[in-house]
Amino acid sequence: MSVTVDSFDVLAVGDLVVDFVVEIDRFPVEAGRFQIDHGHVLEPGGACNLLIAASRIGLKTGALSRVGDDLHGHFLLDVLRAEGVDVSAVEISPQKRTVVVLTLVAGGEHTFIGGMQASPDLTIPDNWRERIRHSQALFVEGYAFAELSPGMVLDAIATAQAAGTPIFFDPGPEVHNLGQERLELALSASRVVVLTAEEAALATGSDDPLEAARRLLSFGPEWVVVKQGAAGCAVFSLDAHTQIPGYTVTVQDTSGAGDSFDAGVIYGYLHGWTPERTGRFANAIGAATVSKLGAGRQVATRAEVEALWGGEIVNGEW
């Protein structure tokens, strides 16, 4: 008897965490110096930002991960469900503690304090494997290697690669901890690589943006998308380099902006958009997100994106 497997536009593997975001006066935080708490929120973080942002702009999303059988794990799953993210394949484990990250915010900048508890498992469950085979895209973040397990993430990548499911890889700040072998494997398997200029330099050993992009493209991705904050982004391919300016907004908190931006890249690529149009759309999502404190439920809404973007988002058209 055949079993029907749901299809998804994008699945995210690992990195389901909770962010406790606190807005303070200034950096650095110094011992013995009191600072005012100007506001704090508890929100889903990590890959949850990508999943929520993608769901809000119309993509069918699902999470492949594990959380603890604890207050934070159930909070996270409740929020994702409310946002239309499928969490039916997320495992709830009494042996795992849901990761909580303290995020300090000041002057639009942020820093993270947290710890990961990776699993020793080397393979993903069979139901994850089937979902990946029936998905239009798999999103992999560098943090997933530490939060889930290197073996499980690599197995998910191999499954997607074998099925022809496009992989969107954002190594993030963990790029320097991945190890060269894992990094090169992920780059070689990816259809699109999304990262900051600093991360590109760490990944390639080159401080020159064009040379760093050239080295990343040599691993085989179609696009290398470099996030540039308020300046916008750049999209590199083997035969083109497109610079896309950002939007002018008041920045309150940049946490979650990069993950939200990734949702726009995935949306544009899956709908066959040009790099320029995709970059403008992703910039709009990132810009709408930084205007609020915290990520999770505070990432850009469809209406906020449309206001910056200048058009209605309807099944890839506007």
Q: Is residue 170 helix, strand or coil? A: strand
pLDDT at 118: 66
Classify residue 3: in a domain, yes or no. no
pLDDT at 2: 43
Residue with tokens 């999502």: 285
Classify residue 4: in a domain, yes or no. no
Exposure of 285 by Cβ count < 10 A (0-12 exposed, 13-18 middle, 19+ buried)? buried
Closest CA to 29 of 104, 129, 80: 104
Q: Which domain holds residue 254?
A: 10-15+47-90+116-309
pLDDT at 1: 39
Q: What is the pLDDT of residues 14-69, one digit of tens each?
A: 999 998 877 777 667 667 776 665 667 788 999 999 999 999 999 999 999 999 99
Number of domains in the chain: 1
Classify residue 52: in a domain, yes or no. yes
156 close to 132: Cβ distance less than 8 angstroms? yes
Radius of gyration of the chain (CA): 18
pLDDT at 317: 58
Q: What is the pTM of this model?
A: 0.91
Closest CA to 5 of 153, 158, 129: 129
Separation CA 204–CA 36 (nearest Å): 40
Query: How is residue 36 written in tokens?
Result: 């005012």
Percentage of residues of the chain with pLDDT beyond 70: 89
Closest CA to 24 of 114, 101, 103, 99: 103
Classify residue 32: in a domain, yes or no. no
Classify residue 68: in a domain, yes or no. yes
Classify residue 99: in a domain, yes or no. no
Query: How is residue 155 written in tokens?
Result: 């197995």
- Phi (first) and psi of residue 116, to 5 degrees: -115, 155
User: Which CATH number covers residue 120?
Assistant: 3.40.1190.20
Classify residue 185: in a domain, yes or no. yes
- Mark the ranges of the chain whose per-residue pLDDT is less than 70: 1-5, 26-27, 29-30, 34-39, 107-108, 110, 112, 114-118, 294, 314-318
pLDDT at 3: 47
Beta strands in the chain (DSSP E): 10-13, 16-23, 40-46, 61-64, 66-68, 91-93, 100-106, 109-113, 138-141, 167-170, 192-196, 223-227, 233-237, 240-244
